[in-house]
Amino acid sequence: MIRKLAAEFLGTFWLVLGGCGSAVIAAAFPHVGIGLLGVSLAFGLTVVTMAYAVGHVSGGHFNPAVTLGLVAAGRTPASQAPGYVIAQLAGAIAAAAVLAAIAAGKPGFDLVASGFAANGYADHSPGFYSQGAAFLTEFTMTFFFLIVILGATHRRAPTGFAPLAIGLALVLIHLVSIPVTNTSVNPARSTGPALFVGGWALSQLWLFWVAPIAGAVVAGLVHRGLFERD
């Protein structure tokens, strides 16, 4: 179990550092900014690389919503969920701390004013989308993320390609939903930056726990009922 928790810590750390780091440091860098497409690719690449690196140890969840969705689908024992979620949160917070230290090395950087890649809705949505639109987006995107995960890792799916399918799904999710919420589909990813931004980010954090977990659990139940049987 210690090996599994260490893998989840490292995988979530890499996801937050690589994904949120691309948004904070590189998205709008003068003349060579990577933009929305680059940030979307960065999040997908973090999952692909860590799924291949440590997925064989822990299953490569790196996300409390994924863990709970897999519990609902009958793929992960419920007894493992608390430890996984704690390890994922620890990895996300540690990565946010490292990212904050790096970003602070730029003269004039203001962590709160920059938003620090925190997730938000209404006035704190990149496109000023409403709370309802944000909830629906996070629920739906996480639902389909879990459908992809469960299908790609099914015993009858082609072997060796699951990390690619899952990573590409995350790229697509970000391409659609960055303008709405900055894209969460991952409560740990949302919690790390929110703790450093404080204020509005913490007051809106509830949505980025409730909606992704609800979407993931519904997907787990749907997959278990419709697709899991031979």
User: What's the longest Cα–Cα distance across the chain?
Assistant: 59
pLDDT digits (tens, 9 = 90+) for 160-199: 899 999 999 999 999 999 999 999 999 999 999 999 999 9
Which three-class secondary structure state does DSSP give residue 158?
coil
Contact 168, 46 (CB under 8 A): no
Neighbours of 36 (CB within 10 A): 16
**Count of domains for the chain:** 1
The CATH number for 116's domain is 1.20.1080.10
> Domain residues for 141?
2-226
Of 40, 59, 34, which is closest to residue 182 (Cα–Cα)?
A: 40
pTM for the full predicted model: 0.94
pLDDT digits (tens, 9 = 90+) for 71-85: 999 999 999 999 999
**Tokens in use for 72?**
């609902």
Q: In sequence order, what are the residues at sequence separation of 6 or more whose Cβ sits closer than 8 angstroms to the Cβ of residue 178?
A: 36, 39, 40, 126
pLDDT digits (tens, 9 = 90+) for 3-23: 999 999 999 999 999 999 999
CA distance 63 to 7: 12
Q: Please, what is the average pLDDT of the chain?
A: 95
Whether 230 has a pLDDT exceeding 70, the answer reads no
